[in-house]
Amino acid sequence: MSIDTKQFHIFTKKNSRANTCIQQLSYTSDYSINHQKQKKPQQPQTAIKRNKRILPIHIPLCPSNPFGPPITAQSWCIINGKDGSMLAGYNEKLKSQIASITKIMTCWLSLKFISLISLDLDNTYFTVPEAAEIIGGTSAQLQNGDQLNIRDLLYGLMLPSGNDAAITLKYNFEQNIGINFIDEMNNCAKEFGLKSTQYMNPHGLYHKFNYSSALDIGILCYQTLQNENFANIVKTKIYFSEIIDKFGNIKEIIWENTNKLLDNGFQGVKTGQTKEAGPCVVEYYQDNNNSYIIVLLNCKSTDQRWDDTIKLLEWIKQ
């Protein structure tokens, strides 16, 4: 399926009082959505011999794996940060709800569009639509009619995990470029070879068909971390933003990263949590000798995901 080339307007502001200038740009894109079914993992069985009878005994799946450390994540994966190869994993191909981990692709696709049409991150402003203000879940505290530059919007997406920022990015790119943002997310997933991934929204709030796997997320993060802007955003602890409201007033907002493991070698990437997905986290770790991307999905609790990450890191470094 193809999208017709069309012209669109990007409004660029130097400051709140400056006149807008219009750039005529064009964009063409092809997209497709990848679907792939995957069988559910089977429970392991063992047997005990009694009176010449073989009695099958069902043993619950270990929430880590047969050889890894005792962690609570229902699926996990460790990717070599140097070459993108998988080092270890458990249920790593299992299709799972991923909550705000979805925003990794939202951020990446936005940066891709910005590069393709040569937008200025600091001087190109997007307007917050009403749909963004009323969306539930985690928020960047954006209100209908607010204007902020794309750089700030990306920080609002990734640090406080703003669902409102995700909707704002989707809305503005669709209005200005004339594409379907979700279809383009799925097109990128196909390009990266993510066989267990499908996107239905830009924020990760529950949708039956919005899912990925620990392995796919690890592969995606290996690619996205090559982008300097992406890497700088996800390793930032606190960010100060100036937003122009619909009355022309400037308001200041402080965003704090939801990732509590920044420091001591950890450099991002994203947290996520919904009732259906459970607590999830992706971490990028780097020291003088090692570089790992650690993905954990559906941990026992919000705090447990940090402990699970440390256990996997210590185990893989042995």
Q: What is the pLDDT of residues 80-117, one digit of tens each?
A: 999 999 999 999 999 999 999 999 999 999 999 999 99
Q: Largest alpha-carbon pair distance within the chain?
A: 89
175 inside domain: yes
The 10s digit of each residue's pLDDT in 152-179 is 999 999 999 999 999 999 999 999 999 9
3-class DSSP assignment, residue 141: coil
Q: How far is CA 191 from the centre of its chain?
A: 16
Q: Above 50 in pLDDT, residue 189? A: yes
Q: What pLDDT is recorded for position 238?
A: 98
Residue 48: inside a domain, yes or no? no
Q: Is the pLDDT reported for residue 230 higher than 60?
A: yes
Write out the E strands in the chain: 2-12, 21-30, 45-50, 53-58, 75-80, 86-90, 125-127, 147-149, 238-244, 250-256, 266-274, 278-286, 291-297
**Secondary structure E strands in 13-152:** 21-30, 45-50, 53-58, 75-80, 86-90, 125-127, 147-149
Q: Which two tokens stand for residue 125?
A: 């402003």
At 68 the pLDDT is 79
Q: Give Cα 227 to chain centroid, integer Å.
A: 14
Reported as a pLDDT band with limits 50, 70 and 90, residue 74 is: very high
In terms of residue numbers, what domain contains 118?
A: 72-317
Domain count, the chain: 1
Contact 295, 269 (CB under 8 A): no
Rg, the chain, Cα only = 21
* 64 vs 32 pLDDT, higher one: 64
* Residue 211 CB neighbour total at 10 angstroms: 21
Residue 284 within any structural domain of the chain: yes
Decide: 130 and 142 in contact? Cβ < 8 Å.
Answer: no
Residue 298 inside a domain? The answer is yes
Q: Please check whether residue 32 lies inside any domain of the structure.
A: no
Listed in sequence order, the residues at least 6 apart from 275 whose beta carbon sits closer than 8 Å to its beta carbon are 206
d(CA 102, CA 161): 10
Indicate which residues carry an active-site annotation: 100, 103, 161
Q: What percent of the chain has pLDDT over 70?
A: 79
Q: Is residue 39 part of a domain?
A: no
Residue 59 has pLDDT above 70, yes or no: no
23 lies in some domain: no
Residue 53: what pLDDT?
A: 39
For residues 170-180, one letter each, b for 16 or more C-beta atoms within 10 angstroms of the residue's C-beta and e for the rest, the string is bbbbeebbbbb
CA distance 7 to 22: 11
Grade residue 67 by pLDDT with cuts at 50, 70 and 90.
Answer: low
pLDDT (tens digit per residue) in 137-148: 999 999 999 999
Residue 81 lies in a domain: yes
Cβ atoms of 295 and 217 closer than 8 Å: yes
CATH number of the domain enclosing 203:
3.40.710.10
Q: Could you tell me the pTM of the whole model?
A: 0.81
